[in-house]
Structure 1
Amino acid sequence: MTTTSLATTEIESLMLKHPKGFDLSLDRISRLLADLGDPQHRLPPQIHIAGTNGKGSVTAFCRAILEADSRAAHVHTSPHLVNWHERYRIGRSGRPGALVDDRLLADAVMRAAAANGGKMITVFEILTAVTFLLFSEQPADVALIEVGLGGRFDATNVLEKPAATVITSISLDHQSYLGDRVELIAAEKGGIIKPGVPVIVGQQSETVALDVLTAMADRANAPLLVYGQDFFAYEEHGRLVYQDDTGLLDLPMPRLPGRHQLINAATAIATLRHAGFGPCDQAIEKGLANVEWPGRMQQIGSGPLYRAAFPGSELWLDGGHNPGAGAAIAETLADMEERVSRPLFLIAGMINTKDPMGFFASFAGIARHVFTVPVEASHAGIDPNELAEAAIEAGLDAEPCASVEEAIRLVSSAWDSDRAPRFLICGSLYLVGDVLAQSGLAPR
């Protein structure tokens, strides 16, 4: 699929007609869905997933385990990295799901746009209606629906009775939409909690977030399961040990690197068990071993950027872009440093709705140097000079650079150590998507 695909053309035409960004409300999406015959009421059982960090990884773990258990799982995620089609994975019986066919997606987009009739709406709301059209018309055992932004007024929150709701780690992000305090953001994320529906809560670094979610679950009479209270995960002898009230599971370490992924894996296991899918132990093992989630601590071993690096270098990508994500990524890199010591260079680009100092703070003492680069795919990219100043204020050595490739070449051309460097390209999913496209690694 390329940017000239039929579906991409249809979506880009919508973006010219409708306002960019988010306008949080359920009125417009509810009206459009009613005009489409309310396809959200004809979905397979749903798992609805919100959170600041980790919701995409939990979705990926759920999908991998379900497919290992021979279940067909539709998957909605956002944003995409390279192609719009990534937002819609269609479940297939007896084999892994696949990104939606271009003509199928284009047809659903055209039908949703026609039903809307040019009325005021956001593109995300039209694309959410497309999700429900696609997933209601293709058979599957489950639909994994990731929230776009927040929860309470997110367009996906028209689901009335999902099998389970999930809320992953909550921290500050999208403050202009969701509030400038963690408890306000938690209240928005908790808006997906439904009466009587199990809610599974991942690890919360802020007690106030868990307090808010607990109170909301109590008011909704929703069974609440919390990481660190009702289920646990830890590493022992190179294995992942999962524990809940049914006992222990001795599992392989997840394919996705980082301690935070143990928590995300555990959250997915708890979710599937309490949503009524009860995967067998062998499916859980296979799912953890096979899980994929592009652009999150993804290693790049081919393409022009890899070839530009000093021989033997490591090239990593992660699209995390808020302080909570920065802390998780830095922890993962510190663990890598303990195993194989390499000088770390960050190549970072960010957009102007983020907190660059908060993101960079966790890398002080870990990264040798930061190169800040433009985010070409977004008009909201922070100027590299300004971004470098933020990194310096966070305690890092930093300088602006024209591109990712130039930053890699600057380091590699002068490198004279036998310890090849480790590069992390980070700070924006737009930037990560551009690198994947350059490397011929668009998600499939």
Structure 2
Amino acid sequence: MIPMHQSATSEAAREIERLLGLHPKGFDLSLDRITRLLDMLGNPQRRLPPVIHVAGTNGKGSVTAFSRALLEAAGLAVHVHTSPHLVNWHERYRVGVRGGRGQLVDDAVFADAVRRVAEANGGQTITVFEILTAVTFILFSEQPADVAIIEVGLGGRFDATNVIADPAVSVIMPISLDHQAYLGDSVELIAAEKAGIMKRGHPVVIGQQPFEAAREVLIATAERLGCPLQVFGQDFVAYEEFGRLIYQDEHGLSDLPLPRLPGRHQYANAAAAIRAIRSAGFTVTEAMMDKAMASVEWAGRLQRLTEGVLVAEAPEGSEIWLDGGHNPGAGEVIAETMASFEERQPRPLFLIIGMINTKDPVGYFRAFSGLAEYVFAVPIHGSDAGIDPVVLASAAYDAELVAEPVSNLGEALAGVRRLVKAGDPPPRILIGGSLYLAGNVLAENGTPPT
């Protein structure tokens, strides 16, 4: 299920490929194996800079990106761990640089850390994600930084990152149905799993929640643990007014530029980041916020593609967006953004979608009913869990969209060229449905994250 676009010349990628052949793929939620391994390594997770620990179904990556942008705007060195990667394994580890932009981990340093962790494990049963999480703690404990932002892989309570005993702040972003086989089949159960990253007496920030039931579970857990608590819509808020982003908490009101990341949902994500940084004990100034809103970046999440191999294959003048959101909640916010684009500048909307078989494609597609003209269902290369394009196209039909299966991205773009009518404005194309597909696109387009 992990796409392998990594260059064969990468020493770290070769080490990870070897481990993938030895250990079970996927997730096996438990803290026993990672705890044992970290003990063998001298418990590097206890030697980290202050940690911002982030969980949630949607918005984890965005709040991580905003938090990084805010802290780097203050000149701080910020380590960042995210998953999955889109093109290269190195994307999971951004190493902080004081006074500058954090850099993806050096390949030789990365490979050395992987080898050391694998050697300490001694061939015992473990998942590769757990090994890579231990690598996070090795890398981030051995290279100095002012703060580390660590994103949960799956769930929270039993995620391998949840060995962090004293986070500066725990952040819970929007919760909706996803990974039900692991986390439960209701938003209340999923919220309880995500709330597992909260630590007694440590600050908690709860981002905007689409489901009141999930919000109530999160608040109740934080209160039971005696956590200083900040809740979106109650203790802090953000909204658009006259083309500006208005943020407000107990420190006052800030009038900011709209975030560089498109979509109204990003207002709440930006707000959660500002509140999280403050709750973690860092000063947030107006200058930091202004700079962060203008500089924030997050590959594969409503990313505008303006150059590259695939862009050249699209109809001339096309507006092309890439987004790895893959569940119904993500579908809703992406569709809302596409609708806002349509209001501002009408264009025919075409979807090029690939998904994996743990997702709810009908729920995702339903958000685009009446908005998208046509869907091309594509396979996901490098994953053995991709939904067959024929089955995916059928799911789009079930959501009242017109769709057809195709064999690759090039064929999908050729299909868009075929359907664009003479005299119509150039199309708007959304490629999405999976972070794995986003990785396929960025690799094939020649524009990997840096």
Shorter-chain-normalised TM-score: which range? over 0.9
Q: Normalization by structure 2: what TM-score?
A: 0.98
Matched with 1:344 is 349
Q: Does 1:365 align with 2:334?
A: no
1:375 counterpart residue number: 380
Q: Matched residues in 2 for 1:335 and 1:12: separation? A: 42
Q: 1:206 aligns with which of 205, 208, 211?
A: 211
Query: Percent identical across equivalent pairs?
Result: 64
1:96 counterpart residue number: 101
In the alignment, does 2:440 pair up with 1:434?
yes
Cα-to-partner distance string for 1:111-164 (whole Å, 9 max, x where unaligned): 000000000000000000000000000000000000000000000000000100
The offset of 1:414, in angstroms, is 4.7
State the one-letter code of the partner of 1:443: P
Q: Which of 241, 244, 253 is the matching residue for 1:248?
A: 253
**Equivalent position amino acid for 1:417 in 2:** G
TM-score (norm 1): 0.99
Give CA-to-partner distance per residue, 1:173-222, whole Å, 9 cap, x none: 00000001000000000000011111100111111101111111111100
Which among 318, 325, 330 is matched to residue 330 of structure 2?
A: 325
| Cα deviation 1:5-34 (Å, max 9, x = unaligned) | 000000010000000000000000000000
Separation in structure 1 between the aligned mates of residue 406 and residue 423 of structure 2, nearest angstrom:
23
Partners of 2:87 and 2:440 within 8 A in 1: yes
Q: Which residue of 146, 155, 160 maps to 2:160?
A: 155
Query: Does structure 1 conserve the Cα–Cα contact (< 8 Å) formed by 2:51 and 2:169?
Result: yes
From 4, 10, 18, the equivalent of 1:13 is 18
Separation in structure 1 between the aligned mates of residue 285 and residue 144 of structure 2, nearest angstrom: 22
- Which of 64, 67, 72 pairs up with 2:69? 64
Measured after TM superposition, the shift of residue 2 of structure 1 is 2.2
Partner in structure 1 of residue 409 of structure 2: 404
Pick from 255, 262, 267 the counterpart of residue 257 of structure 1: 262
Q: Please, what is the CA RMSD of the aligned residues? A: 0.8
Bigger drift between 131-140 and 375-384 goes to 375-384
State the distance in 2 between where 1:71 and 1:38 align: 25
AA matched with 1:156: T
Task: Tell me, yes or no, if the aligned pair for 2:309 and 2:446 is still in contact at 8 Å.
Answer: no
Secondary structure of 1:242's aligned partner: strand
CA–CA separation in structure 2 for the residues paired with 1:414 and 1:42 = 57
The one of 41, 60, 76 equivalent to 2:81 is: 76
1:370-414: CA deviations, max 9, x gaps?
110111121100010100111100111111111111111122145
CA distance in 1, matches of 2:366, 2:149: 33
Structure 1 residue 418, shift from structure 2 partner: 3.6
Q: In the alignment, residue 201 of structure 1 is paired with which amino acid? A: I
SS, match of residue 404 in structure 2: strand
In 2, the alpha carbon distance for the partners of 1:229 and 1:147 equals: 25
State the Cα deviation string for residues 38-62 of structure 1 (Å, max 9, x = none): 0000000000000000011000000
Describe the SS at the equivalent of 1:8.
helix
Match of 1:443 in 2: 449
Alignment match, 1:140: 145
Aligned twin of 1:52:
57
Whether 1:228 aligns to 2:233 is yes
Which piece of structure 1 moves more, 2-11 or 52-61?
2-11
CA distance in 1, matches of 2:314, 2:427: 9
Partner deviation per Cα, 1:345-385 (whole Å, 9 max, x = no partner): 00000000000001101000110011101111211000101
Q: For residues 377 and 58 of structure 2, what CA distance do their matches in structure 1 show?
A: 23
**1:320-360 deviation digits (Å, cap 9, x = unpaired):** 00000000100000000011100000000000000000110
Q: Contact 1:316–1:425 at 8 Å: present in 2 too?
A: yes
- Which letter does structure 2 place at the counterpart of 1:18? H
Gaps of 5+ in 2: 1-5
> What is the DSSP-based 3-state SS (H/G/I as helix, E as strand, rest coil) of the residue aligned with 2:322?
strand
CA contact (8 A) 1:53 1:324 kept: yes
Aligned counterpart in structure 1 of residue 390 of structure 2, from 385, 389, 393:
385
Q: How far apart, CA to CA, are the structure 1 residues paired with 2:203 and 2:426?
A: 48
Say which of 113, 122, 125 aligns to 1:120: 125
Alignment check: 8 A CA contact 1:3 1:83 kept? no
Q: What is the DSSP-based 3-state SS (H/G/I as helix, E as strand, rest coil) of the residue aligned with 2:195?
A: helix
- 1:216 is matched with 221
Corresponding residue to 1:423 among 426, 429, 434:
429
Quote the Cα distance in structure 1 between the aligned partners of 2:231 and 2:36.
Answer: 35
Q: What code does the residue aligned with 1:234 have? A: Y
Q: Is residue 188–residue 213 contact of structure 2 (8 Å, CA) maintained in 1?
A: yes
Cα deviation, 1:226-279, whole Å, max 9, x if unaligned, reads: 111110000011110001112100001000000000010000000001110112
* Cα deviation code 1:59-84 (max 9, x no counterpart): 00000110010000000000000000
Match of 1:85 in 2: 90
Asked if the contact 2:175–2:191 (Cα under 8 Å) also holds between the matched residues in 1, the reply is yes
SS in 2 for 1:96: coil
Q: Distance in 1 between matches of 2:145 and 2:313?
A: 44
Equivalent position amino acid for 2:445 in 1: S
Q: How many residues align?
A: 444
Q: Which residue of 2 aligns with 1:314?
A: 319
- Aligned-partner SS, 1:347: strand
Q: Is the 8 A contact 1:377 1:431 kept in 2?
A: no
| Offset at residue 87 of structure 1 (A) | 0.2
